[in-house]
Amino acid sequence: MGKPLVILAALLLLVPQLTMAQEQEPATQLRSLMESFRFSQAISLAELYLSKDSTRTDLLLLKGRALAALFRYKEAIVTLRKAQQTDSTNTILLNELVDVYRQSGDPEKAVETSRKITRLDPGNRYFILQLASLLYSGKDYREAVKVLAPLFSTDTLDFYVVKQLANCYDELKWSDMAMFYYKKALKITPCDPIVTGKLANLLIRENEINTAFYITALYLKQDPSYIPILKQNAYLNYLILDYPASVKQFRKCLSLGDSSKFTRKYLGLSYYKQEIYDSAVPFFRAAFRSDTTDAEVCFYYGVSETRSQDIDTGLVYLQRTMRLLMPSGQFLSTLYAELANAYTLTSHPDTGIILLKKSLEVNPESNIIRFKLAYQYDYYLRKPYEALPWYREFMKNVVPGPEHDPLDASYQKAAEKRGIPDVRFSMPDYARNRIKAITGIKK
């Protein structure tokens, strides 16, 4: 009798294990189907099992995942919320809901559910980081900072947390705090390209050009071919007026495959600032072709073509600039002056007079325009007595400074033709001499 009793006892012990295996079998089958991307079959099988027991949270969770995988978000949410009614504190289930809400384009529900998870499991760092990420994606930067700050206080060397705090403060325009966290992030992970680039941009906005230049140059020692930082460094060379270095760096960007409008525009400007107009032309042309609404590029392209002696093309683009926008007074004044120069070079100096007067009208503080008007009457129209009042007006408004620096090449050549030996004199000297000559006053 002893042996049959032992067998019976063993069978009794196996019954619960067999029952558990049978309960797990449906979930195993669903997972197998989902792993092979047969989501529709998984949904059908889940519905079959749930028709027998609609309270099984594990099956409802798997069905919700399968529905979400097929982009059937509304059905997935209904299924997962039904599971939530059975087990309202299941963080795995709630986290699945967060993901489906996010994918379905309902960030408010995603944040609400994520906050619930962090209340249920306040010590779980992953859930807190997820909430912060959702808040950041939703542009609620202040709330994201509130969530991240405690994480930073417990671990000041967490690169992701430090970087995200920097990003939040940057978006909030709290520059000092953003700089603090960006710099701290770089101490944790030196020369991180994203942090370096964002810190450089922030420093540029805050006019800390030398510091921005330093950190980009430091990064390029490690990775000299990373285009975003190389482009920033080229731009910073432009800002510190080192135009040859700017040309070199922007050209390197092009050689590495960068074809952005920004690179072509500022490469053109780097040549323009050196008065190498023929080299600037192709880059302005390419930049304008990529964005035909950029009036600034259009203007510099027109000027460069004009000064490269392709005056007809220059006129076309200077006139096009006028059609693109109504610029600020100073810019419009410069535009009129350049148009006047272009028309004068095409043997229309009288049109140049009209445009110079318009230039002075929109920017009456520019004394150099008075000089140009006097010179236009005097040299190009051969009307010295009409030039005389403009020379006098110019002299009345002379203030020492860069506006009255020595004349540029075009005026110097004209001075040489007039037989004036030293062509490096200033505009006031030139005007004073012409006033004496026109009025016949001798020293």
pLDDT at 25: 86
pLDDT band at 8 (very low <50, low <70, confident <90, very high): very low
Within this chain, domains 30-116 and 123-189 share the same CATH topology: yes
Neighbour-count burial for 362-379, b at 16+ CB within 10 Å, e otherwise: bbeebbbbbbbbbbbbbb
Neighbour-count burial for 105-143, b at 16+ CB within 10 Å, e otherwise: eebebbbebbbbbbeebeeeeebbbbbbbbbbeeebbeb
The predicted model gives 187-192 an average pLDDT of: 93
Task: Tell me the C-alpha distance between 400 and 172, whole Å.
Answer: 43
Domain 30-116 class in CATH: mainly alpha
89-135 confidence digits (pLDDT tens): 999 999 999 999 999 999 999 999 999 999 999 999 999 999 999 99
* Furthest CA-CA distance within the chain: 147
Domain 123-189 class in CATH: mainly alpha
Task: Tell me the C-alpha distance between 190 and 290, whole Å.
Answer: 36
pLDDT band at 417 (very low <50, low <70, confident <90, very high): low
pLDDT at 413: 57
Given a cut of 50, is residue 22 above it in pLDDT?
A: no
The answer to whether 342 touches 314, Cβ cutoff 8 Å, is yes
Given a cut of 60, is residue 7 above it in pLDDT?
A: no
pLDDT at 216: 97
Task: Tell me the C-alpha distance between 418 and 443, whole Å.
Answer: 19
The answer to whether 253 touches 263, Cβ cutoff 8 Å, is yes
Task: Tell me the C-alpha distance between 356 and 224, whole Å.
Answer: 47
pLDDT band at 443 (very low <50, low <70, confident <90, very high): very low
Backbone angles phi, psi at 426, to 5 degrees: -85, 170
pLDDT at 23: 44
Place of tokens 């005097």: 378
Backbone angles phi, psi at 173, to 5 degrees: 65, 30
pLDDT band at 434 (very low <50, low <70, confident <90, very high): very high
Q: Tell me the pTM.
A: 0.72
Given a cut of 80, is residue 402 above it in pLDDT?
A: no
316-334 confidence digits (pLDDT tens): 999 898 888 776 778 888 8
Give the rounded distance of the alpha carbon of 341 from its chain centre: 36
- Of residues 409 and 90, more confidently modeled: 90
pLDDT at 331: 83
**Percent with pLDDT over 70 in the chain:** 87
Task: Tell me the C-alpha distance between 242 and 334, whole Å.
Answer: 24
The predicted model gives 69-95 an average pLDDT of: 92
Task: Tell me the C-alpha distance between 188 and 185, whole Å.
Answer: 5
Place of tokens 């949270």: 57
Given a cut of 90, is residue 427 above it in pLDDT?
A: no
The answer to whether 234 touches 260, Cβ cutoff 8 Å, is no
The predicted model gives 371-381 an average pLDDT of: 93
Lowest mean pLDDT among 84-93, 103-112, 180-189, 272-281: 84-93
The answer to whether 391 touches 374, Cβ cutoff 8 Å, is yes
232-268 confidence digits (pLDDT tens): 999 999 999 999 999 999 999 999 999 999 999 999 9
SS (H, E, C) the chain: CHHHHHHHHHHHHHHHHHHHHHHHHHHHHHHHHHHCCCHHHHHHHHHHHHCCCCCCHHHHHHHHHHHHHCCCHHHHHHHHHHHHHHCCCCHHHHHHHHHHHHHCCCHHHHHHHHHHHHHHCCCCHHHHHHHHHHHHHCCCHHHHHHHHHHHHHHCCCCHHHHHHHHHHHHHCCCHHHHHHHHHHHHHHCCCCHHHHHHHHHHHHHCCCHHHHHHHHHHHHHHCCCCHHHHHHHHHHHHHCCCHHHHHHHHHHHHHCCCCCHHHHHHHHHHHHHCCCHHHHHHHHHHHHHHCCCCHHHHHHHHHHHHHCCCHHHHHHHHHHHHHHCCCCHHHHHHHHHHHHHHHHHCCCHHHHHHHHHHHHHHCCCCHHHHHHHHHHHHHHCCCHHHHHHHHHHHHHCCCCCHHHCECCHHHHHHHHHCCCCCCCCEHHHHHHHHHHHHHCCCC
pLDDT at 421: 45
**Domain boundary assignment for the chain:** 30-116, 123-189, 361-443
